[in-house]
Amino acid sequence: MTATQDSYALDEIKIGGMGASRKRVEDNRFIRGKGNYIDDVVLPGMLHMEMLRSPLAHARIKSIDTSAAYAIPGVRLVLTGEMMATRNLAWMPTLSYDTQAVLATDKVRFQGQEVACVIADDPYLAKDGCDAIRIEYEPLPVIVNPTQALAADAPIIRDDKENQPDNTCFTWEVGDKEATDRAFAAADLVSTLKLHYPRSHPSPLECCGSIADFNRSTSRLTVYMTTQAPHIVRAAVALIAELPEHLIRIISPDLGGGFGNKVPVYPGYVMSILASILTERPVKWIEDRTGNLISTGFARDVYLDGELALRKDGKILGVRMHTDSDHGAFFADAQPSKFKIGLMHSAFAAYDIPAAHLTARGVYTNKAPGGVAYRCSFRVTEAMFFQERMVQAAADDLGMDQAEFRRVNLVRDDDFPHRTPFGFLTDSGQYAKCLDVGLEAIGYADFRRQQEEARKRGRLLGIGISTMTEPLGAGNSREYDILGIKMFDSAELRVHMTGKALLRTGAKSQGQGHETTWAQIVAHELGIPAEDVVVEEGDTDTAPFGMGTYASRSTPVAGAAVAMVSRKIRAKARKLAAHLLEVSEEDVDWELGRFYVRSNRAQGVSIQQCAMAAYSNMPDGMEPGLEGNAYYDPPNLTWPFACYIATVEVDPQTGVWDVLRFVAVDDCGVRINPMVVEGQIMGGLTEAYAMANMQFITFDADGNCIGSNFMDYLLPTAWETPGWELHEVVTPCPHHPIGAKGIGECATVGGPAAFVNAVLDAIGSAQVRNIDMPLLPDRVYDAIAQQHDVSGAPPVNQGD
Sign (positive or negative) of CA dihedral 607, 611, 617, 618: positive
Sign (positive or negative) of CA dihedral 173, 756, 709, 549: negative
Residue from 50, 388, 537, 745 carrying the catalytic annotation: 745
Write down the least CB distance from residue 372 to ligand CUM, Å: 8
Neighbours of 90 (CB within 10 A): 20
Write down the least CB distance from residue 353 to ligand MCN, Å: 27
Residue from 228, 335, 510, 512 carrying the catalytic annotation: 228
CA distance 471 to 311: 28
Supply the DSSP symbol for 410: B
Write down the least CB distance from residue 229 to ligand CUM, Å: 9
168 within 8 A of 90, measured Cβ to Cβ: no
Residue 554: contacted member of ligand MCN, ligand CUM, none (CB under 5 to 8 Å, by partner type): ligand MCN
Residue 743: contacted member of ligand MCN, ligand CUM, none (CB under 5 to 8 Å, by partner type): ligand MCN
Nearest-CA neighbor of 749 among 701, 699, 683? 683
Choice between 341 and 747, CB closer to ligand MCN: 747
CA-only gyration radius of the chain, Å: 28
Choice between 495 and 676, CB closer to ligand MCN: 676
Write down the least CB distance from residue 341 to ligand CUM, Å: 14
To the query of whether residue 376 is one of the catalytic residues in this protein, the response is yes
To the query of whether residue 111 is one of the catalytic residues in this protein, the response is no
Half-sphere exposure of 340 (CA within 13 A, CB side): 17
Nearest-CA neighbor of 201 among 335, 386, 336, 375? 375
Neighbours of 450 (CB within 10 A): 16
Write down the least CB distance from residue 537 to ligand CUM, Å: 14
Among 263, 442, 688, 733, binds ligand CUM (CB under 6 A): 263
Neighbours of 166 (CB within 10 A): 15
Residue 751: contacted member of ligand CUM, ligand MCN, none (CB under 5 to 8 Å, by partner type): none
Residue from 130, 207, 376, 705 carrying the catalytic annotation: 376
Residue 683: contacted member of ligand CUM, ligand MCN, none (CB under 5 to 8 Å, by partner type): ligand MCN
Residue 351: contacted member of ligand MCN, ligand CUM, none (CB under 5 to 8 Å, by partner type): none
Residue 677: contacted member of ligand MCN, ligand CUM, none (CB under 5 to 8 Å, by partner type): ligand MCN
Among 228, 272, 365, 673, binds ligand CUM (CB under 6 A): 228
Write down the least CB distance from residue 554 to ligand MCN, Å: 3
Residue from 22, 199, 320, 375 carrying the catalytic annotation: 375
98 within 8 A of 47, measured Cβ to Cβ: no
State yes or no: residue 260 binds ligand CUM (CB under 6 A): yes
Write down the least CB distance from residue 553 to ligand CUM, Å: 8
Binding site for ligand MCN (CB under 6 A): 204, 257-260, 375, 510-514, 517, 549-555, 668-673, 676-677, 680, 683, 740-745
**At what angle are helices 380-398 and 746-763 packed, to 10 degrees?**
30
Residue 245 three-state SS: helix
Write down the least CB distance from residue 474 to ligand CUM, Å: 9
State yes or no: residue 554 binds ligand CUM (CB under 6 A): no
Residue type at 101 in one-letter notation: A
Choice between 263 and 688, CB closer to ligand CUM: 263
Cα angle 413-414-418, degrees, rounded to a multiple of 5: 85
Q: Which region among 100-108, 258-266, 356-364, 458-466 touches ligand CUM (by CB under 6 A)?
A: 258-266
Residue 740: contacted member of ligand MCN, ligand CUM, none (CB under 5 to 8 Å, by partner type): ligand MCN
CA distance 555 to 561: 9
737 within 8 A of 563, measured Cβ to Cβ: yes
Residue 514: contacted member of ligand MCN, ligand CUM, none (CB under 5 to 8 Å, by partner type): ligand MCN
58 within 8 A of 108, measured Cβ to Cβ: yes
Interface map 179-218 toward ligand CUM (x if CB under 6 A): ----------------------------------------
Q: Name the residue whose CB lies closest to ligand CUM.
A: 260
Q: Which region among 255-263, 517-525, 590-598, 630-638 touches ligand CUM (by CB under 6 A)?
A: 255-263
CA distance 339 to 779: 34
Nearest-CA neighbor of 38 among 206, 204, 203? 206
Residue 642: contacted member of ligand MCN, ligand CUM, none (CB under 5 to 8 Å, by partner type): none
Choice between 548 and 628, CB closer to ligand CUM: 548
Choice between 350 and 746, CB closer to ligand MCN: 746
771 within 8 A of 759, measured Cβ to Cβ: yes
CA distance 766 to 196: 19
Choice between 257 and 734, CB closer to ligand CUM: 257
Choice between 705 and 746, CB closer to ligand CUM: 746
Write down the least CB distance from residue 665 to ligand CUM, Å: 22
285 within 8 A of 309, measured Cβ to Cβ: no
Phi, psi of 11 (to 5 degrees): -80, 115
Choice between 260 and 471, CB closer to ligand CUM: 260
Choice between 376 and 697, CB closer to ligand CUM: 376
Half-sphere exposure of 640 (CA within 13 A, CB side): 35
To the query of whether residue 725 is one of the catalytic residues in this protein, the response is no
Choice between 258 and 604, CB closer to ligand CUM: 258
Measuring CA to CA, how many Å separate 26 from each of 38, 555, 566?
Answer: 16, 17, 22
State yes or no: residue 551 binds ligand CUM (CB under 6 A): yes
CA distance 271 to 266: 9
Residue 512: contacted member of ligand MCN, ligand CUM, none (CB under 5 to 8 Å, by partner type): ligand MCN
To the query of whether residue 671 is one of the catalytic residues in this protein, the response is no
Residue 454 three-state SS: helix
Size of the site for ligand CUM (CB under 6 A): 11
Chain centroid offset of residue 487 CA: 16
Write down the least CB distance from residue 777 to ligand MCN, Å: 29
Choice between 14 and 455, CB closer to ligand MCN: 14
Write down the least CB distance from residue 257 to ligand MCN, Å: 4
The β-bridge partners of 605 are 595
State yes or no: residue 259 binds ligand CUM (CB under 6 A): yes
Half-sphere exposure of 117 (CA within 13 A, CB side): 30
Nearest-CA neighbor of 683 among 175, 62, 258? 258
State yes or no: residue 562 binds ligand CUM (CB under 6 A): no
Which parts of 367-386 interact with ligand CUM (CB under 6 A)?
Answer: 373-376
Q: Which region among 37-45, 136-144, 166-174, 259-267 touches ligand CUM (by CB under 6 A)?
A: 259-267
The β-bridge partners of 192 are 307
Nearest-CA neighbor of 149 among 343, 324, 24, 342? 324
Residue 263: contacted member of ligand MCN, ligand CUM, none (CB under 5 to 8 Å, by partner type): ligand CUM
Q: Which region among 149-157, 166-174, 254-262, 571-579 touches ligand CUM (by CB under 6 A)?
A: 254-262
Neighbours of 34 (CB within 10 A): 10
Sign (positive or negative) of CA dihedral 550, 552, 557, 563: positive
Nearest-CA neighbor of 26 among 501, 509, 503, 505? 509
CA distance 222 to 536: 18
Write down the least CB distance from residue 404 to ligand MCN, Å: 30
CA distance 373 to 744: 13
Write down the least CB distance from residue 439 to ligand CUM, Å: 29
**Strand pairing category for 698-699 and 588-591:** unpaired
Rule CB under 6 A: which residues touch ligand CUM? Answer: 228, 258-260, 263, 373-376, 550-551
Write out the catalytic residue numbers.
228, 375-376, 745
